[in-house]
């Protein structure tokens, strides 16, 4: 029974990293302990790490040491080969792989993929390694430069080689296929490939194939003069800026790199200005050839600008520099989130992920890890896209999170704020926010504003709210956004990056109201610990709940837990366990536990119980040996806000846990609050859980 899969490409520049990233993303969503292994790595200069290993560990948060992820560098491999030490090479690779296999549930093995005349030999080496490891293989075939018939024949030849070597082939993925060839290739695959081999086709995408400015700088060994914050700019075109300025400007296309001698101050200034102009496309960057730096006045001018494209100085001449730029093959670096997310998105769009998982995963360990939880959240949100409103459009974190959400096609969005200010911020942040898929609304200019004011007046006139007061309130983003949710113009709202919790939830309490049968609005955090996900409630809303309110909070938290795929085992926390303690606070918790058992006899609940007895198996067994909850609680209910808020923050800071929330529960429609210290990931996660709430 295999606990791993081997990924190999039949030739260089196949775009294999798209497949390894995509596979790893779906694997971490299903498997608790996963490792990445690359038998042979290519050195990237002194003290530099292999970019593929670095990307996997960093992006997916793999709990694995870098040095355990490979067996040899390419130079070491060549040395041992030249000495005839093939057996030593294979034995070392097996030993390193087995170390990972023994300590992990699954290993993704990424084969070698080197350029040059030895590429075909490298594939034979991959086949040999896969056979010795006893692993099935997924074959990546490059499509660009070949006809559909040639691609199919190349794959059939490789299939025969694998059959001869007795290496099982699970799937074939043809990558970088011209859009005009996909249907013909699909038909050829159906007619000619073995029926037991899963076949997939991924079209060519320039956004994945073209290099970034970071790759330009590193390949040219250039000196970066300006634009350190924009090295992720993608280069889709390049031109030589040696002609007159007007002719240079007419040749600009989106994401153009300009190669020009360093003494062409007119070109340099014009290209920087063109990038800022609404009338010209985005400029990716500039390379200044000939070892020449701009004159001092030009440097001074550029230094005073807020947004500056990457400007790189190289020693080579213009012609040689252009040739080097044209030969660059893009790679996906760990710090290029845009390309990583695009690679994963592309994989999931064109690969039948459920089928390929069934083929490669032979066992599915029980339990849920934080990565599995977050993966499943995003996947679930995508199944039925909901419309979420973000009222704090002036905050950069909101805009960055919005771009990420839209890029992954998770939700529909409305952002509140002045459109011209938001668009200026997007350009300053270099954000590729697709304005066709997001509404940017200034509440005061919205045609819905009068209707919303009138609705608020009707809802609140019994509370002495007049029309003037309703008009003033509706100018506020929290009120306008909440009214969008109330009226059905949005499915949920997320706020609090700038505003206080009270400011965020007050409108919801005033007119969205609570669900039938619920009298207490409360909150939970999903605490993503190293090896599990638990639910903490209430850590954000109710300062000193009564027994009845604690029971409400616990029942709502259990329902939230079930909604998000976590089996609820409720621990009602206190400073004593069982019958060992006395006192008003303990009795409050004991009474709440009794109420839960009466109201919801189907729920597993224990209380009062101490935190350690609730989550630690050994302590739970010692203190409460007959309990079905002690030592394995998944829903932890705190007796008051002081305890809950401090505990969740302590756990978050001391363990490095990801705290997703707070998620408000008990409202008729989802409105969720952010911390004013929230990160982009916090915003992203909160929008995702709000969308899932809206699906209910």
Give residue-wise pLDDT tens across range 511-550: 888 888 788 889 999 998 877 889 998 998 889 999 999 9
Together in a domain, 236 and 199:
no
- Read off the CATH number of the domain in which 113 is found: 3.40.50.300
Sheet (strand 412-416) strand order: 438-441, 412-416, 387-390, 492-495, 671-673
pLDDT at res. 2: 62
Q: Does residue 50 fall inside a structural domain?
A: yes
- The whole-number pLDDT of residue 362 equals 59
The answer on 233 and 154 residing in a single domain is no
Last residue of a domain, one of 512, 543, 575: 512
Mean pLDDT of 166-178: 91
Residues 587, 489 within the same domain: no
Residues 353 and 386 in one domain: no
Domain shared by 136 and 173, yes or no: yes
Task: List the CATH number of the domain containing 430.
Answer: 3.40.50.10950
Stretch (H or E) spanning 260: strand 256-261
Q: Are residues 235 and 310 in the same domain?
A: yes
In a domain, 137, yes or no: yes
**Of 86-90, 334-338, 433-437, 524-528, minimum mean pLDDT range:** 433-437
CATH number at residue 285: 3.40.1390.20
pLDDT tier, 153 (very low <50, low <70, confident <90, very high otherwise): very high
pLDDT tens-digit readout, 233-256: 889 999 998 888 888 899 999 899
Mean residue pLDDT of the chain comes to 88
- Give the pLDDT confidence score for residue 369 in this predicted structure: 66
pLDDT at 579: 75
199 and 265 in a single domain? The answer is no
- Domain count along the chain: 4
Could you tell me if residue 365 is inside a domain? no
627 and 550: one domain?
Answer: yes
- Taking 60 as the threshold, does the pLDDT of residue 46 lie above it? no
User: Do 236 and 311 fall within a single domain?
Assistant: yes
Evaluate whether residue 134 is within a structural domain: yes
What's the CA dihedral at 578, 581, 584, 585 to 10 degrees? -60
Cβ of 650: how many Cβ atoms within 10 Å?
A: 10
**Is residue 684 domain-resident?**
no
β pairing state of 604-609 and 635-637: unpaired
Q: For residue 236, give its domain range.
A: 213-326
Pairing state of beta strands 533-537 and 522-528? antiparallel
Mean pLDDT of 557-581: 88
Residues 40 and 148 in one domain: yes
Residues 177 and 227 in one domain: no
Confidence of residue 326 (pLDDT cuts 50, 70, 90): confident
Are 567 and 507 members of one domain?
Answer: no
CB 606 within 8 A of CB 571: yes
Of 464, 463, 498, 504, residue with least CA distance to 485? 504
Q: How confident is the model at residue 119 (pLDDT cuts 50, 70, 90)?
A: low
Alpha carbons 179 and 166: distance in angstroms, whole number? 34
Quick check: 1 pLDDT over 50? Answer: no
Stretch 378-404: mean pLDDT: 91
498 falls within a domain: yes
Query: In the 8-state DSSP scheme, what is residue 408?
Result: T
Q: Please give the pLDDT value at position 114.
A: 58
Instruction: Quote the tokens at residue 322.
Output: 């252009």
Question: Is the CB of residue 561 less than 8 Å from the CB of residue 364?
Answer: no
Ramachandran sector of residue 323 (left: φ over 0; alpha: ψ -120 to 50; beta: rest): alpha
- Work out the average pLDDT over 544-569: 92
| 22 within domain boundaries | yes
Q: Is residue 691 one of the residues assigned to a domain?
A: no
Alpha helices for 386-514 (secondary structure H): 396-407, 419-428, 449-460, 467-474, 477-487, 501-507
Residue 455: pLDDT above 90? yes
User: For residues 528 and 682, what is the distance between their CA atoms, to the nearest angstrom?
Assistant: 12
pLDDT band at 681 (very low <50, low <70, confident <90, very high): confident
CATH of residue 616's domain is: 3.40.50.10750
Start-end of H helices in 331-448: 337-350, 353-360, 370-383, 396-407, 419-428
pLDDT band at residue 366, thresholds of 50, 70 and 90?
A: low
């Amino acid at each position: 029974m295999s606990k791993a899969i081997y990924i190999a490409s039949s030739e260089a520049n196949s775009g294999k990293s798209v497949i390894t990233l995509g596979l790893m993303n779906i694997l971490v969503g299903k498997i608790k302990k996963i490792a990445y292994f690359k038998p042979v790595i290519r050195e990237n200069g002194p003290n530099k790490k292999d970019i593929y290993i670095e990307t996997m560990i960093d992006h997916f948060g793999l709990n694995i040491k870098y040095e355990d992820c490979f067996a040899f560098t390419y130079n070491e491999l060549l040395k041992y080969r030249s000495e005839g030490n093939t057996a030593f090479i294979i034995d070392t690779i097996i030993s390193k792989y087995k170390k990972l296999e023994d300590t992990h549930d699954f290993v993704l093995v990424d084969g070698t993929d080197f350029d040059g005349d030895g590429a075909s030999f490298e594939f034979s080496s991959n086949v040999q390694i896969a056979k010795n490891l006893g692993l099935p293989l997924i074959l990546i075939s490059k499509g660009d430069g070949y006809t559909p018939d040639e691609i199919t024949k190349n794959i059939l030849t490789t299939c025969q080689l694998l059959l001869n070597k007795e290496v099982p082939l699970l799937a074939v993925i043809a990558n970088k296929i011209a859009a005009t060839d996909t249907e013909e290739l699909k038909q050829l695959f159906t007619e000619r490939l073995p029926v037991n081999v899963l076949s997939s086709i991924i079209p060519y995408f320039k956004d994945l194939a073209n290099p970034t400015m970071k790759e330009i700088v590193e390949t040219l060994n250039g000196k970066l003069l300006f634009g350190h914050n924009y090295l992720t700019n993608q280069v889709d075109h390049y031109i030589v800026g040696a002609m007159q300025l007007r002719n240079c400007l007419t040749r600009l296309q989106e994401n153009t790199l300009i190669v020009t001698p360093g003494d062409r101050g007119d070109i340099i200034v014009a290209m920087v200005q063109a990038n800022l102009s609404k009338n010209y496309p985005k400029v990716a960057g500039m390379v200044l050839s000939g070892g020449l730096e701009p004159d001092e006045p030009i440097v001074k001018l550029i230094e005073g600008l807020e947004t500056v494209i990457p400007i790189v100085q190289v020693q080579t001449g213009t012609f040689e520099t252009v040739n080097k730029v044209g030969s660059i093959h893009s790679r996906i670096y760990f710090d290029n989130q845009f390309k990583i997310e695009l690679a994963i998105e592309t994989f999931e769009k064109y690969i039948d992920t459920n089928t390929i998982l069934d083929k490669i995963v032979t066992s599915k360990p029980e339990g849920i890890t934080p990565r599995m939880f977050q993966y499943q959240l995003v996947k679930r949100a995508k199944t039925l896209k909901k419309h979420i409103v973000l009222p704090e459009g002036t905050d950069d974190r909101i805009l960055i999170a919005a771009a990420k959400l839209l890029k992954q096609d998770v939700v529909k969005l409305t952002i509140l704020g002045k459109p011209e200010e938001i668009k200026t911020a997007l350009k300053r942040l270099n954000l590729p926010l697709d304005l066709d898929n997001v509404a940017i609304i200034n509440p005061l200019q919205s045609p819905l504003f009068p209707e919303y004011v009138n609705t608020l007046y009707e809802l609140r006139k019994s509370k002495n709210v007049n029309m003037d007061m309703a008009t003033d309130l509706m100018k506020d983003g929290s009120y306008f956004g909440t009214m969008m949710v109330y009226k059905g113009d949005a499915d949920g709202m997320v706020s609090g990056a700038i505003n206080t919790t009270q400011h965020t939830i007050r409108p919801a309490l005033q007119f969205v109201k609570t669900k039938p049968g619920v009298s207490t609005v409360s909150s939970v955090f999903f605490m993503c610990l190293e090896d599990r996900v638990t639910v903490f409630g209430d850590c954000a809303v109710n300062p000193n709940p009564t027994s009845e309110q604690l029971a409400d909070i616990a029942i709502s938290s259990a329902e939230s837990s079930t909604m998000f795929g976590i089996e609820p085992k409720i621990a009602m926390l206190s400073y004593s366990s069982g019958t060992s303690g006395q006192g008003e606070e303990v009795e409050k918790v004991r009474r709440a536990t009794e109420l839960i058992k009466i109201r919801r006899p189907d729920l597993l609940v224990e209380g009062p119980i101490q935190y350690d007895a609730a989550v630690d198996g050994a302590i739970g067994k010692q203190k409460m040996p007959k309990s079905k909850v002690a030592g394995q609680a998944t829903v932890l209910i705190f007796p008051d806000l002081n305890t809950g808020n401090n505990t969740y923050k302590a756990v978050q800071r001391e363990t490095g846990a990801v705290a997703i929330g707070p998620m408000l529960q008990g409202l008729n429609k989802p409105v969720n609050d952010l911390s004013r210290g929230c990160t982009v990931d916090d915003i992203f996660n909160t929008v995702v859980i709000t969308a899932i709430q809206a699906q209910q």
